[in-house]
Amino acid sequence: MHFSTKAEYGLRAMVALARAYPKQKNIAEISEEEGISAKYLEKLIGKLRKNNLVKSQKGKGGGYTLIKNPRQISSGEIIEIMEGPIVSKCDGKKCAKAKKCASSFVWNKLAFQIKKTLFAIKLNELI
C-alpha cells in the first residue's frame, strides 16, 4: 500500500491545527511550521474543509480551525479524504478472480487491519 504526500501533508496540517485547537492558524503559519508549500497546503486544507474537518475564517486575522475536538478525528478519516477509501486490491470490484484467489484472504485481512489501525489513532494522540 502506498500513500502519497497528500496523505502525509494533510495529516501534518491537521496535527498543526490540533496543536492550536480551539484557536486557529493561517496557511502561512502551518506552511512555515511544517515545511509545506503554502500553495499546496491551500489545496489540501480546501479538501479538508469541503469534507467538514476544518472551518475557515476570512479576512485579517483569519485562518483555519478544526470543526471537532482532536479526540474525535482519526488519522484514517484524514487519509481517506486525501487518498480515497482504503480498500484491498482484492475487493471484488478491481479483480474478477478475487473469490477464487487464495491470496485474496491475505490482502483483504491486511486492508482491514490497516483501516482498523488508522481509524483507531486520533489526532490528540499525535500532538
Q: DSSP secondary structure string, 105-122?
A: HHHHHHHHHHHHHHHH-B
Over residues 14-24, mean pLDDT: 96
In which domain, by residue range, is 121 found? 5-126
DSSP state of 25: B
Residue type, 89: K
Give 28-79 pLDDT, tens digit per residue: 999 999 999 999 999 999 999 999 999 999 888 889 999 999 999 999 999 9
Please tell me the pTM assigned to this model: 0.87
Q: Total structural domains in the chain?
A: 1
At 100, which CATH number?
A: 1.10.10.10
Better-predicted residue by pLDDT, 6 or 87: 6
Q: How far apart are the first and last CA of the chain?
A: 25
Q: Is the dihedral of CA 97, 98, 101, 106 positive or negative?
A: positive
